[in-house]
Amino acid sequence: MTIRTEFPHKITEIDDMGIPMPDGIRLSARAWLPQDASANPVPAVLEYIPYRKRDGTLLRDEMMHAYVAGHGYACIRVDMRGNGDSQGLMEDEYSEQELRDAEAVIDWLSRQPWCSGNVGMMGKSWGGFNCLQTAFRQPPALKAVVSVCSTTDRFADDIHFKGGTLLGENFGWGAVMLAYSSRPADPLLRNDWKGDWLQRLEAMPWLAPRWASHQARDAYWKHGSVGEDWGRNTVPAMIWGGWADNYMNTVAALVEHSPAPTKGVVGPWVHQYPHTAVPGPKVGFLQMAIRWWDRWLKGTPNGAEADPAYRAYILHSEPPNASPKHRVGHWVAEAQWPSPRVTAEVLHLASVRAGVSHPRTPVGYLGTEESKERWSLALSTPQHLGLETGEFFPMGLNAEMPGDQASDDAKSLCFDGDVLREDLQLLGAAELRLTLSSDKPLGFVAARICDVAPDGSSVRIAHGMLNLCHRDSRENPMPMVPGQVVDVGFRIDQMGYRLAAGHHLRLALSNSYWPFVWPSPEAGTLTITGGNLTLPVHRGADAPEWEPPLAEHARPWAHKVLRQGENRRYVERDLLTDKQTLVVVTDEGDTENLSHGLVSGESLTERWEIHPDDPLSARAHHVWEQRLSRGPWAVRTRVDAEMTATATHLRMTARLEAWEGDKRVFVREWDEMVERRFV
């Protein structure tokens, strides 16, 4: 990692650039501009998110935007309406108002005297989503986007539902946004901060129940899903993803379907920008983004449009590790995607073949020949299966990535392949088909593809899941008819992986996956009588086919740590009740910004508890605290949120409190029930 302090352009910074919206609301932006931009206008690059430029994303903002601005761009980091230092109230994620505001910001930027008229848009996660969504609307001045860790389908591939299953993160993210958006503007920038803060708190939406109530792929989810009409994706796009993140599917989807010039890169990373992300290797994301901007915003003939369509890091077999700093592997480069170097190999599910055995968990067999004998295997897994699966979007090295899957495998229905005589390289999405019946109307199946080493340790390569109510249609789900045999199929997430000779492939099936998926209302049994797994076998070279630039960024922010934080992650088991609880403690400490004196800090405790035999015992309890201060001024907010369920309803409660100094100035409570129609 190289820290750059010298750039082709000297820059100036503006802490609070006001951008007026058509309805009179003022959005607050931080800007980095070349000092001579007024005399020599430059393209603008916009990042537009709700995560507070003054404190929330300041660390990464200063490393990225100063770097890009130093190469001849006006970098504009905007707080969304109702967040940070901007006026107005936030309604929801990716709302129509949010996207109209984005278009208005782009139009305003394009008309400034320091702007050449061309605008690019970039972002990760929320910002990666809305830059794709804004490009989908085709505002005239938007000429290119760089999107990291985003999605093309808000229902099928986001934090709310996956394969129609309700994700635990739906509740978790609702609690996050209640906490994040509860903080006020900085009094140094807003004299009206307190009145605005109280108005913001009063209007705060508790979004988790709203999201959970949309249990089919309806108009709510289709809004903002750019895969609804691939033909509208006409803005050149560079798309980034990470194998350790759950947004890896977007890259291949856009490269395959978008008519615009589109280039994709997937590395080993968690949910972070690739120049700072773990596991390594980190890459020169900023240099590559600038190359993209140079081509589409400045018209520089640098050949970026002729780069490989899809570049992916192939992970190599290594022992399980939930906090790896680096992953061994190599880069492949595909001129087109889908690639002619990927072929489909079908493996059939069967009961264990005579004379074949595997260590640890031999239950079923995965082979190239279809069984001529009829077979039947029951799938009924304990509710606490999944405690080793990790977070939906890991952020760092706090054991958030999948650990050794052997303990979950032992609770699952496993189909093991033969021990490999040579390496097996996979790139793409596997497809699973099952013939099954259910004894309950509601239920799901989760599938994990694992790399099993000779010592029995198991590494999750990829996973996927299907709510059985969605077996025929996401738009019109229907409960299962108990006892009725059906054929179902679903895609498992994209992967890039090379299994070593001497290892073997495992398909692990379960109908519980806590806390990744909220459990079904009844502990059911699936009876599986057939199926196959289609693997994307890659015939590429073992040697690296691409050498990315080394990671660089600008100087980090000037700060002082006032109180060190602490992170813990562990599993509790009550020996009297056998209740199992995943506990996550994240205390970020308190830090002073030496540029403007703002002290910020946050703390979180998550508890995910369940009894192995009782899906209705599932309980999620999150407590968030946010802190801001400067001298005698201090504010604090606390969110206490809980989710439980009955056989017929999901219940989500929340309590939001706010203090100015030692005085509590606000309290509000929510208690909402959501009917369980398909989950």
Are residues 40 and 72 in contact, defined by beta-carbon separation less than 8 angstroms? no
From the centroid of its chain, how far is CA 627?
25
Q: Angle at the Cα of 651 (from 126 to 245), degrees rounded to 5?
A: 30
CB 233 within 8 A of CB 145: no
pLDDT digits (tens, 9 = 90+) for 54-70: 999 999 999 999 999 99
DSSP, collapsed to helix, strand or coil, labels residue 15 as: strand
Selection from 596, 595, 655, 587 nearest residue 627 by Cα: 587
Distance CA 417, CA 348 (A): 10
Q: How many other β-carbons are positioned within 10 Å of the β-carbon of residue 441?
A: 17
φ, ψ (nearest 5 deg) of residue 234: -100, -5
Q: Would you state the structure tokens that stand for residue 296, as one six-digit string?
A: 């589409």
11: which 2 tokens? 């820059």
132-174, pLDDT tens digit by residue? Answer: 999 999 999 999 999 999 999 999 999 999 999 999 999 999 9
Chain segment 257-295, per-residue pLDDT in tens: 999 999 999 999 999 999 999 999 999 999 999 999 999
Can you give the pTM of this predicted structure? 0.96
Using CA atoms, how far apart are residues 654 and 639, in angstroms rounded to an integer? 7
Q: Can you give the pLDDT at residue 359?
A: 45
Q: 145 in helix, strand or coil?
A: strand
Residue with token string 């108005």: 199
pLDDT in tens, 560-617: 999 999 999 999 999 999 999 999 999 999 999 999 999 999 999 999 999 999 999 9
- Side chain identity at 563, as an amino acid letter? R
**pLDDT confidence tier of residue 355, bands split at 50, 70 and 90:** very low
Q: What does 602-620 look like in DSSP terms, one character per residue? A: EEEEEEEEEETTEEEEEEE
Question: Per-residue pLDDT tens for 223-264?
Answer: 999 999 999 999 999 999 999 999 999 999 999 999 999 999
Q: So what's the pLDDT on residue 353?
A: 58
pLDDT tier for residue 33 given thresholds of 50, 70 and 90: very high
Rounded (10°) angle between helices 96-110 and 126-136: 80
Check whether 354 has a pLDDT greater than 50.
Answer: no
Q: Looking at residues 425-445, what average pLDDT do you find?
A: 98
d(CA 144, CA 459): 37
Q: What is the mean pLDDT of residues 377-389?
A: 96
User: What's the CA gap between 128 and 285, in Å, rounded?
Assistant: 14
Task: Please tell me the distance from the alpha carbon of residue 2 to that of residue 508, in angstroms, as a whole number.
Answer: 42
Model pLDDT, residue 525: 98
Helix (H), strand (E) at residue 286: helix 285-297
- Cα separation, 130 vs 132, in Å, equals 5
- Summarize the chain as % helix, strand, coil (round to 5): 15, 40, 45
Amino acid residing at 173: W
How distant, in Å, are the alpha carbons of 43, 45, 236, 466, 478 from that of 297?
6, 9, 10, 42, 48
Does pLDDT of 543 surpass 90? Answer: no
Strand pairing report for 663-675 and 310-316: unpaired
| The length of the chain, given as a count of residues | 679
Cβ atoms 581, 608 nearer than 8 A: yes
